[in-house]
Amino acid sequence: MEVNKPLLRPYYIKSLFEEVLHEMKNSTVFSKLAIKDGYWHVKLDKESGLMTKFQTPFGRYRLRLPFRIKMAREVFQMRKKEAFEYSRSYKYFRRYCNSWKR
């Protein structure tokens, strides 16, 4: 069974680079965090987890958010936005979390 076919992709608008630059105007302190393996920290709901279950000699396992699932990027970005919801000086652009202080 192909896992991507029955999945519905959530609608999520990403930040544009121009928007991020405008918000960073007059800032003096910057930080940049690489979060390339963050997909593996997002748990799937029970039903989705059952679709990714596999058996090994050591037991049964369910995947977390696999990168190749078509909706992984949107789900991961929504989770990051929720985590930094109260921070005005945070944006995610490409593979990095960017923050700044004035």
Q: CB–CB of 1/69 below 8 Å? A: no
Q: Is the dihedral of CA 80, 86, 87, 90 positive or negative?
A: positive
CA dist 18 and 12 (Å) reads 18
Q: 36: how many CB neighbours lie within 10 A of its CB?
A: 9
Q: What is the mean pLDDT of each run of 10 residues along the chain (102 residues)?
A: 65 66 73 72 81 89 76 77 69 60 62
The predicted structure's pLDDT at residue 56? 92
pTM above 0.85, yes or no: no
Supply the pLDDT for residue 9. Answer: 65
Name the E strands within the chain. Answer: 29-34, 54-56, 59-61, 90-93, 96-101
Q: What is the pLDDT of residue 83?
A: 74
